[in-house]
Amino acid sequence: MRNYNVGLIGATGMVGQRFITLLAEHPWFSLKVLAASSRSAGKTYREAVGEKWAMKTPLPEKIGDMIVKDAVADMKEIADSVDFVFCAVDMPSEEIIALEQGYAKLECPVVSNNKEHRYFDDVPMLIPECNSSHLAVIETQKKRLGTKRGFVAVKPNCSIQSYVPALHPLREYGLETVVACNYQAISGAGKTFETWPEMVDNLIPFIKGEEQKSEIEPMKIWGEVKNGVIVNAQKPVITTQCLRVPVSDGHTSAVFVKFAHKPEKEAILKAWADFKGEPQKLGLPSAPKQFLNYFEEDNRPQAKLDRDLEGGMAVSIGRLREDTFFDYKFVCLSHNTLRGAAGGGVLAAELLAAKGYFD
């Protein structure tokens, strides 16, 4: 695989920092440009991120010395100097759309962690193991944008990235109804216990906009490409509740599911054990070898013990059992800033690179 020069927009944020830890030694991607707001521009990354560095590993020396660019004012210079950019910013929605389309129209592909482009029917929203076929809509998007190589690809919300993968290989039994109660870590709000001390010994039963995303986004992931665009799936009917819990990293979901054709428990366990997506088949550098991991122990998965499985890119599942109202219930976990954010973005970019979309 050839090497690609990469820019990181939103480099000083929580997700941006995760990208830095993942890209510092990446075999295919070389981090050439760091960008953030005008508040950070012109400073070294070390000065700009300052006390906000929240990663457990130290800031890589050579990254700390890089001068941060202004993602908006320096757009043309950045777009001209890299093969593609990752984007994870906190800005008003209309400014994010303008920013991402701005880079795409300058022929610089964008792999985005932001929500703003998720519901465009010609923008692939990737969990690479589940819907790599959606890359086909990029050609339609390029026609809309009037570009030759520029486009936007996104990853879905972190809240869906345990139960959608777990349900994905079970679709052959006809997913009818799904309830998912999501217990979400504070890093999903860009926070730590230091910056959000109110979350110690607490639970907040509301995360703005999260339940809508958790119910709508799976329907796009399970949608089909028709006439060059993604047409959302109609089934299953999904309802969710999203609660903020005092956990630093790792979103857990308690799932209830009803099928059109109820499988045996052994068939579900086998479907999880055997499942391989395109990243496993292609051997992408960030792909977990075993994506779906079932734990027999009654007290697993646990956020603290299991969120870092396979570099935080695997999904952990446990407690599969029959239910009185539904057919089955189970619990699943994924790392929200790795699989659910930066790691998922890197894996999506590896898929795009392997399929030639950055050439």
Ligand X SMILES: NC(=O)c1ccc[n+]([C@@H]2O[C@H](COP(=O)([O-])OP(=O)(O)OC[C@H]3O[C@@H](n4cnc5c(N)ncnc54)[C@H](OP(=O)(O)O)[C@@H]3O)[C@@H](O)[C@H]2O)c1
Residue 215's Cβ-side half-sphere holds a number of Cα atoms within 13 Å equal to 13
Least separation in angstroms between residue 101's CB and ligand X is 15
Catalytic site includes residue 242: no
Show contacts with ligand X in window 256-295 (CB under 6 A).
none
Q: Does residue 138 bind ligand X (CB under 6 A)? A: no
Least separation in angstroms between residue 9's CB and ligand X is 7
Residue number, 18 or 142, with CB nearest to ligand X? 18
Tokens read off for 223: 């949608």
Exactly one of 4, 12, 82, 129 binds ligand X (CB under 6 A); which one?
A: 12
Asked if 272 contacts 202 with a C-beta cutoff of 8 angstroms, the reply is no
Exactly one of 255, 341, 349, 353 binds ligand X (CB under 6 A); which one?
A: 341
Q: Does residue 190 bind ligand X (CB under 6 A)? A: yes
Least separation in angstroms between residue 275's CB and ligand X is 23
Spot the catalytic one: 87, 108, 130, 158: 158
Residue number, 209 or 283, with CB nearest to ligand X? 209
φ and ψ at residue 280, rounded to 5 degrees:
-70, -40
Exactly one of 31, 85, 88, 347 binds ligand X (CB under 6 A); which one?
A: 88
Spot the catalytic one: 130, 251, 332, 335: 251
Q: Does residue 39 bind ligand X (CB under 6 A)? A: yes
Strand locations in the chain (E): 4-9, 29-36, 69-70, 84-87, 110-112, 152-154, 175-184, 224-226, 229-231, 237-244, 251-259, 292-295, 315-322, 328-334
Least separation in angstroms between residue 49's CB and ligand X is 7
Residue number, 115 or 262, with CB nearest to ligand X? 115
Residue number, 40 or 140, with CB nearest to ligand X? 40
Nearest to 187 by CA among 270, 265, 104, 247: 247
Q: Does residue 40 bind ligand X (CB under 6 A)? A: yes
Catalytic site includes residue 251: yes
Strand locations in 188-303 (E): 224-226, 229-231, 237-244, 251-259, 292-295
Nearest to 292 by CA among 172, 188, 180, 170: 170
Q: Does residue 36 bind ligand X (CB under 6 A)? A: yes
| CA–CA separation, 110 and 164 (whole Å) | 24
Q: Does residue 128 bind ligand X (CB under 6 A)? A: no
| CA–CA separation, 34 and 6 (whole Å) | 9
SS3 state of residue 358: coil
- The angle that helices 343-354 and 14-23 make with each other, rounded to 10 degrees, is 50
Applying CB under 6 A, which residues contact ligand X? Answer: 10-16, 36-37, 39-40, 71-72, 88-91, 113-115, 158, 187-188, 190, 336-337, 340-341
Catalytic positions: 158, 251
